[in-house]
Structure 1
Amino acid sequence: MSQATQDLFERYHACWADRDPDRIAEMHSPDSIFHLHSGGKPARGRDEIRASAADTFAMVPDLTFNLVNLRVGDDFWTVQWTLSGTSAVGNVVDVDIMDLVLVANGEVLEKHTYVDGVAMQAALTPSASA
């Protein structure tokens, strides 16, 4: 394990926990990729990454991350989370995700997030009784 990568993970996670798209984007390299593997295109570059993070927080304004498992190497981390909160349409969010994050020179180069699509779609879809 690399202590520098562990420290980067902790600073990066703090930006997500604080729901701060600006700080999230600043921690990415200028040509970084953030890909939420749920059918959409990857966000490329800091501006698109900032917008993608802001969209995430708009969908689940009280989003919290519950750490399940973390593995850190010299140039990567992989982490399993359970996301929780209430979606913008009022549904409970309880979704498993897995991140693979590639890093170099103290910056995030790529972030790939794999999500339980069925659970996420259920959380984001307005219910028939609404």
Structure 2
Amino acid sequence: MSADTRDLFERYHACWEARDPDRIAELHTVDSVFHLHSGQGPTQGRAAVREAAAGTFALVPDLTFELVSLRVGEDFWVVQWKLTGTSATGAAVDVDLADFVLVENGAVKEKHSYVDGVAMQAATAPAEVA
């Protein structure tokens, strides 16, 4: 395990827990790719990463992360999370997420997030009017 990569993981995760899109973007390379694999394409660059993170926090303002599993190598980490919170629509969020992250020169080069799309869609869908 690379201590430098593990340290980056810890700092990066702290930014997500703090819900700080500016600090998240700062830990990415200038040309970084962020791809939430849930139907939309990847974003590229720090500004797009910041926007994607801010969008996540707008969708689930009280988002919390429970670490399920973590593997760290010299230039990557793979982590499994249980995400919980309350969506902006008021529904409970309880979804599984897996991240595959590539590291380059001490920064996040690529982040691929794989989410339980059915559970996330159900939690973020507008409430039905009876």
TM-score norm. by structure 2 comes to: 0.98
- Tell me which residue corresponds to 2:25: 25
Structure 1 SS opposite 2:81? strand
Q: Which amino acid aligns with 1:100?
A: F
- The within-5 A match list for 1:50-129 is 50-129=50-129
Gap regions ≥5 residues in structure 1: none
The aligned length equals 130
Quote how far apart the aligned CAs of 1:49 are: 0.5
Gap regions ≥5 residues in structure 2: none
Identity of aligned residues (%): 68
Quote how far apart the aligned CAs of 1:20 are: 0.2
Q: Which amino acid aligns with 1:13?
A: H
RMSD (Å), alpha carbons = 0.9
TM-score norm. by structure 1 comes to: 0.98
Measure, in 2, the Cα distance between the counterparts of 1:3 and 1:88: 37
Measure, in 1, the Cα distance between the counterparts of 2:63 and 2:74: 29
Measure, in 2, the Cα distance between the counterparts of 1:20 and 1:44: 18
- Tell me which residue corresponds to 2:34: 34
